[in-house]
Amino acid sequence: MKRLSSDQGNALLEGVGFAAIAFGLLMTLGLNVLTLERDELTLMSIARNSMRAFLLQDAEDLESAVAMFQEQTTLANDALDVRVRCERQDCRTRGNLIWLEIHSDDLVASAFGVIGE
């Protein structure tokens, strides 16, 4: 009889230990997903704000606008790959479409705009 009660205690202890490990792994995965989502939203914010600054506030170029907004975020120390495409060669011509893509590791954010007056 004594042996039976000790086996039940071991099964309970193993079940609790397994549940604790599974919960820890689940929490780690959840935190990683939240961090990835935060970085994606931050990258999208940098792209949109850089495009607005370029179009509305006459920033010199998109690369400097991206660098300015990147300094104010959690991605300040990350290397960002900035790609700018224009419908025509000159990115200052009125009515020209301009696309901005920012790449960081596996994340990509883009914004586009039309050059006004």
In the chain, how many domains are there? 1
Q: Is the separation of the CB atoms in 74 and 39 below 8 Å?
A: yes
What confidence tens digit (pLDDT) does each residue in 47-87 have?
A: 999 999 888 887 778 888 898 999 988 888 888 999 999 88
Instruction: Note down the domain range covering 7.
Output: 2-114
The model's pLDDT over 23-51, given as tens digits with 9 standing for 90+, comes to 999 999 999 999 999 999 999 999 999 99
The reported pTM is: 0.76
The pLDDT score that the predictor gives to residue 55 is 87
